[in-house]
Amino acid sequence: MSTAAVISSADATRSIVTRFLQPADVPALLALEARQWTARQAADAATMHKRIDAYPQLCVGAFCAETGAALASLFMKPTSPEAVKRARCWEDCARLDDQPSPRHQRMHSLFGISLTSVDGAAAWSLIRFFWPHALKQGWRDIYLGSPMPGFRRACELERQLAADHYARLRRGGLPLDPQLRYYHRKGFRKIVSVRPGYFPHEQSLDHGAVLRARVPLAALWPLWRRVPLPLLQRFSNLVTALL
């Protein structure tokens, strides 16, 4: 895995370069962050450095090949199903100084601390880039906390609407909430919990839905350790198209 940090994948049709993040990317990442998060929600430079320093193999970014502008970023950290269940809010899940698990207890789950994107193709390129690495590193599933930006409006229409019920509402077989639908399409199909006071998000009335996605084909992990990374990378487009 030592060469992974310098591997880049370029999507020639859209001129997007996708790779692991480095400390030098922080100014571009801050510019992206400012476009999509409020001042209260956005991560600062110190937080981004901390994330990259702690888990360089779990922080990925997509950049415009021409300008170098950051188009999408994803910061992750190892977690466990128990830790996700215990967590009351996003900060509980996202903090980097939590107790490491005992040596014998290998972690198989990731928590997506933050996904930010201004380009749908760039967000997909993060998933396509990371999937082969996830298999090689032995990650089996990914949790994240999603806003439910349609919740406030839905409550205006139906006063007694419970957040848990709202998160499970469907239309045409897909989640009714636009962001839960977005994540559903990216493989995050399981609603683990719905938490009030999860993070500041006005349209969601501060609620968050904790979601889980299985890493496709991760169950065959002993096999992937032996398969060369470039071979897995060749299948990445195909597999993520099946999500």
Ligand X SMILES: CC(C)(COP(=O)(O)OP(=O)(O)OC[C@H]1O[C@@H](n2cnc3c(N)ncnc32)[C@H](O)[C@@H]1OP(=O)(O)O)[C@@H](O)C(=O)NCCC(=O)NCCS
Q: Is position 243 an interface residue for ligand X (rule: CB under 6 A)?
A: no
Least distance CB 56 / ligand X (angstroms): 20
Q: In this structure, which amino acid lies at residue 21? A: L
Asked if residues 200 and 149 have their Cβ atoms less than 8 Å apart, the reply is no
Q: Is position 36 an interface residue for ligand X (rule: CB under 6 A)?
A: yes
Among 18, 179, 236, 240, binds ligand X (CB under 6 A): 179
Nearer to ligand X, 114 or 236 (CB): 114
The H or E element containing residue 217 is: none
Q: Which residues contact 51 (CB under 8 A, 6 or more apart)?
A: 43, 59, 75, 77, 96, 113
Question: Residues in contact with ligand X, total (CB under 6 A)?
Answer: 17
Least distance CB 106 / ligand X (angstroms): 26
Bridge partners for 149 per DSSP? none
In 205-231, which positions are buried (b, 16+ CB within 10 angstroms) versus exposed (e)?
bbbbbbbbbebbbbeebeebeeeebee
Asked if residues 74 and 126 have their Cβ atoms less than 8 Å apart, the reply is yes
Least distance CB 130 / ligand X (angstroms): 14
Q: In this structure, which amino acid lies at residue 73? A: S
**Considering only 21-29, 118-126, 165-173, 215-223, which stretch makes contact with ligand X by CB under 6 A?**
118-126
Among 182, 214, 217, 221, binds ligand X (CB under 6 A): 182
**Structure-token pair, residue 185:** 């399409």
Among 68, 178, 196, 228, binds ligand X (CB under 6 A): 178
Binding site for ligand X (CB under 6 A): 36-37, 114-120, 123, 144, 146-147, 149, 178-179, 182
